[in-house]
């Protein structure tokens, strides 16, 4: 094994973390530095601080109270009176709007970003529009959308689209513009056809910033959805949070807010991060180099 490694080094082959040898046994310090451990720690601290605030300020519901309320909400039990828990229906409505909004906004923003990044005159034409979209807060969309569409689902969907498009466009156009001009020169000297250049050079080169854009889009799109549902909808999770807020049932309001955060974090960890890791194989660094030498 070490002989082979030595030969690879001689040949100038750089070994990757993923390809090299078995993992070193985890040390205590390594364990404490695992991302999920730090995440749990942060969550624990947050809950602790929250609980402390609820002791100081009696208006703020405690952690246990919130958990009990959300359990009733999720299991469809009774909140007292005629009010019963409702969880899956608003969640399904919101996720559907979110998915439709992303399915429209992400590709539109991506194409717009490619055009702004790659075509000079388009930059002048669209850049300011995109910046204006970027600067407008989601509340504006909430009111405009409820004016245009009443209380239908198109308001929240439009808000997601309009939030996502500029985030994708700005990031992807920056990615396209940052593609090494030397690589463009290389492509031209070899007469690489346009389609292939688009695919391998521009698309490949802007992938890192596309991911940044995607992440931001997922977050801000979700936020706008909630705000629009809060102000201009009679269904969805944003509406449900407001429902409890208006009913002065703060455990419900706060519980839903917690759920929003958990949902978006899960989405990021379970969907985007693995995708990102796969897309960036080429950029892997040998992370286990020190452990192996020991």
Partner 1 sequence: MATVLIENLTKVYPPTLNNPTQVQALGGLSMSITGNVFVAVVGPSGSGKTTLLNIVAGVERATAGSVRALQEGVPARVGYVFQEPRLLPWRTVVDNMLYVQDRKSDRSRREAEFYLQMVGLSDVADLYPSQLSGGMQQRVGIARAFLVNPDVLLLDEPFSHLDALTGRSLRDYMQRIWLQTRKTALFVTHDVTEAVELADRIVMLRPGGTAYDDIAVDLPRPRRHDDPAVRDMQDEVLRRFDAMGAAVRFGAHA
Site residues for partner 1 per CB under 8 A: 11-16, 180, 182-183, 185-192, 196, 200-201, 204-205, 207, 281-284
What tokens appear for 107 in the block? Answer: 């590709």
CB nearer partner 1, residue 140 or residue 288: 288
- Rounded to a whole number of angstroms, the minimum distance from the CB of residue 10 to partner 1 is 10
10 Å CB burial of residue 4 (0-12, 13-18, 19+) is: exposed
CB nearer partner 1, residue 59 or residue 189: 189
- Rounded to a whole number of angstroms, the minimum distance from the CB of residue 206 to partner 1 is 10
- Rounded to a whole number of angstroms, the minimum distance from the CB of residue 193 to partner 1 is 8
What tokens appear for 218 in the block? Answer: 């997922």
- Rounded to a whole number of angstroms, the minimum distance from the CB of residue 189 to partner 1 is 4
CB nearer partner 1, residue 34 or residue 196: 196
CB nearer partner 1, residue 9 or residue 128: 9
- Rounded to a whole number of angstroms, the minimum distance from the CB of residue 6 to partner 1 is 15
- Dist. CA 278–CA 264, nearest whole Å: 20
- Dist. CA 191–CA 39, nearest whole Å: 49
178 Cβ neighbours under 8 A, 6+ residues apart: 205, 206, 209
- Rounded to a whole number of angstroms, the minimum distance from the CB of residue 186 to partner 1 is 4
276 to each of 25, 261, 269, 281, how far by Cα in Å? Answer: 27, 21, 10, 9
CB nearer partner 1, residue 84 or residue 284: 284
CB nearer partner 1, residue 234 or residue 281: 281
Best CA proximity match to 237, nearest among 215, 258, 266, 210: 258
Bridge partners, 78 (sequence order): 84
10 Å CB burial of residue 160 (0-12, 13-18, 19+) is: buried
């Amino acid at each position: 094994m070490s002989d082979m490694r030595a030969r690879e080094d001689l040949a100038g082959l750089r070994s990757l973390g993923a390809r090299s040898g078995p993992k070193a046994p985890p040390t205590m310090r390594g364990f404490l530095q695992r991302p999920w451990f730090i995440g749990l720690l942060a969550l624990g601290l947050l809950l602790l601080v929250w609980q402390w605030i609820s002791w100081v300020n009696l208006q703020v519901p405690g952690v246990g109270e919130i958990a009990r309320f959300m359990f009733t909400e999720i299991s469809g039990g009774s909140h007292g009176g005629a009010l019963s828990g409702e969880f899956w229906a608003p969640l399904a409505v919101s996720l559907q709007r979110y998915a439709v909004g992303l399915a429209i906004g992400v590709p539109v923003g991506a194409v717009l970003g490619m055009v702004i990044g790659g075509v000079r005159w388009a930059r002048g034409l669209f850049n300011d529009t995109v910046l204006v979209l970027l600067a407008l807060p989601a509340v504006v969309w909430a009111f405009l959308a409820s004016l245009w569409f009443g209380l239908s689902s198109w308001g929240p969907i439009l808000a997601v689209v309009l939030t996502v498009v500029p985030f994708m466009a700005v990031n992807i156009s920056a990615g396209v513009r940052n593609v090494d001009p030397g690589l463009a020169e290389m492509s031209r000297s070899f007469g690489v056809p346009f389609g292939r250049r688009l695919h391998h050079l521009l698309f490949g080169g802007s992938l890192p910033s596309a991911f940044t854009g995607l992440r931001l889009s997922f977050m801000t799109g979700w936020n706008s959805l909630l705000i629009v549902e809060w102000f201009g909808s009679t269904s969805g999770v944003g509406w449900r949070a407001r429902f409890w807020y208006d009913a002065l049932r703060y455990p419900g309001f706060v519980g839903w807010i917690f759920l929003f955060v958990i949902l978006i974090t899960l989405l990021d960890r379970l969907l985007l991060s693995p995708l990102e890791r796969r897309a960036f194989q080429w950029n892997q660094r040998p992370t286990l180099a020190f452990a192996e030498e020991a």
